[in-house]
Structure 1
Amino acid sequence: MTAAANHDDYCQQRAAASGSSFYYSFLFLDPPRRQAITALYAFCREVDDLVDECVDPHLAAAKLAWWRTEVAALYAGNPTHPVTRSLSAALRHYALPQEHLLEIVDGMEMDLEQARYPDFKSLHLYCYRVASVVGLLAAEIFGYQDRRTLKYAHDLGLALQLTNIIRDVGEDARRGRIYLPVEDLQRFDVPAADLLQGRYSENFKALMAFQAERAQEYFDRALAELPRIDRRAQRAGLIMASIYRTLLDEIARDGFLVLDRRTSLTPLRKLWLAAKTWLKS
């Protein structure tokens, strides 16, 4: 087995082991694009898991600093990590700006520096860095002819991240993080202590319905922005939209019971949604 194959296999295993819905959107891509997007996803997993799993924030910050030097090494032509070595192959085919990869690292660093967001504007910056930028990079890999597709990719990334935040409210709170804006908690009279202690209320349900409506609005906006000429090329993103909107509907149908459980779709259902969307788009 070649060294390149080893690097790609590492990324493939990272993507498959995560159980993420993103994995199902990769399955229908041609091999070069699948290799590139899998390497990108593995990069995101590396830096995200680092922040989530490293209990010492100073050590986590040092590791993120190392990833910044590794991104520089990637663009200088001498990467050392399996993920960046796999990404180096993608750089030969797709325009993936260095600053976008660094912005993803910046977004992960925000998790080390703040655990609350005063308003949606501040949360928007976080979502842009950890999700919209990924959408922009993915759009480059999938291909487009109309630059309006980048606006679609930006807003779709935001919609996906807002859905993640809704799904993971309880899990994030147990890590000491609350992504729901303070202004929204105050508007619906939901104390942060309710999230940290897993207490449900009618106010909490109304708060979450508001969050879900905001996410749905970004899904609607993104899909309306995608030019018809690029719809076929961007089918992998449309698969993600289908899976995540279905997940959001399930969470709402269950009454937003996200403080003590994690709603998810079965692998078979994700695969069915992926195949259905691919064939329809």
Structure 2
Amino acid sequence: MSTNTDKTADKASDKTADRNGEKASAAGASTPEQYVQQKAAASGSSFYYAFLFLPPPRRAAITAFYAFCREVDDVVDEVSDPGVAATKLAWWRKEAMSAFNGQPSHPAMKALMPHVKDYDIRVEHLMAVIDGCQMDLEQTRYLDYPGLQRYCHLVAGVVGEVASGIFGRTDPKTIAYAHKLGQAMQLTNIIRDVGDDARRGRIYLPVSELQQFDVKAHEILKRDAPWGYSDRFTALMKFQAQRAHALYDEAVALLSDTDRKAQKPGLMMANIYRTLLREIEAENFQVLHQRIALTPLRKLWIAMKTNWRGR
């Protein structure tokens, strides 16, 4: 094996580390904890509103883990050159291994490491998330639903498992609940982002299901309105929404009463995402030319209501 490749990769990794450091400085954060807090708050994500109701130690842990997930996800979403993106993900793999060996360098990893023992966060969890992002670089289509399920498992199911551990769980079934919920939320994201993903040349809806409903890929990629919004497309999207609703129901059914209170942040996220799904349904799946979203105030209200009601 030539060592030139290794040296080139090391140089690229060093440059990536420099850019990551610049990014942290640009955020104006003086500590790793401030960095991840700013990362979570700036995202406007539904997750952020659920974190607000956690006690400080758990909130610090989930915020740091979420910041890590955002960092690796941003590599795929924001880097246009696949080669550069692959190098960045390789850097994150190296960083995760270094962090678990006691040498974190990125502020997100520095903020996360104090919590890994308390909440059983393992390097394998982080590698799975990176694997999911790697799939985004290597394929733009999924032949069937089992293939899409594997992707959802890596980028959402594993995230749900880690999150449920941070929130607090005693029942083994809560892990299955978290995986189901993560899948449901990821499918909701996929439904919401059909148009945005098409602009990047990606279609997550399984090829076999496009064929089942006689929807052609070029109809989605072209994103023409009203042509793209055929009855066939609407039927396909209704099918996807029904699957997501079923997963939400299956997830909640797996959550025992003993863990329900601890898992309220997950239920908040579920209610926010399911409300979004219903909004998309109310808009008749007009997702090719626009990105349907809930306002921050509405997300906060849903989170507060879930906190009061406990479900």
Calculate the TM-score normalised by the size of structure 1: 0.97
Query: What is the CA-CA distance between 1:5 and the residue it aligns to?
Result: 6.9
SS of alignment partner, residue 278 of structure 1: helix
**Quick one: which of 145, 167, 189 aligns to 2:192?**
167
The offset of 1:55, in angstroms, is 1.2
- Counterpart of 1:223 in structure 2 is 252
1:118-129 equivalent positions in 2, closer than 5 A: 118-129=143-154
Within 1, Cα distance between the matches of 2:88 and 2:301? 38
1:6 shift after superposition:
1.0
Q: Which residue does 1:132 correspond to in 2?
A: 157
Partner of 2:51: 26
Is 1:151 the counterpart of 2:176? The answer is yes
- Alignment root-mean-square deviation, CA: 1.0
**Residue-by-residue CA offset, 1:144-182 (whole Å, 9 max, x unaligned):** 111110000010000000000000000000000000000
Q: What stretches of structure 1 of length at least 5 have no aligned partner? A: none
Structure with the greater alpha carbon radius of gyration: 2
1:238 matched to 2:267 = yes
Q: Distance in 2 between matches of 1:92 and 1:185?
A: 44
CA distance in structure 2 between the aligned counterparts of 1:233 and 1:186, rounded to whole angstroms: 42
2:103 is the alignment partner of 1:74: no
Deviation, 1:92, is 4.0
Counterpart residue number, 2:9: none
More off after superposition, 91-100 vs 243-252: 91-100
Paired residue for 1:142? 167
Runs (4+) of structure 1 moved beyond 4 Å?
none
Deviation, structure 1 residue 93 = 2.0
Residue of structure 2 in register with 1:99 after alignment? 124
Counterpart code for 1:135: G
State how far apart, in whole Å, the 1-side matches of 2:275 and 2:135 are. Answer: 29
Match of 2:297 among 268, 277, 281: 268
3-state SS of the aligned residue for 1:80? coil
Alignment partner, residue 180 of structure 1: 205
| Aligned-pair identity (%) | 58
Over residues 174-204 of structure 1, what are the superposed CA-to-partner deviations in whole Å (9 max), with x where a residue is unaligned? 0000000001100001000111011211110
State the one-letter code of the partner of 1:275: M
The alignment status of 1:113 with 2:113, answered yes or no, reads no
Q: Normalising by structure 2, report the TM-score.
A: 0.88
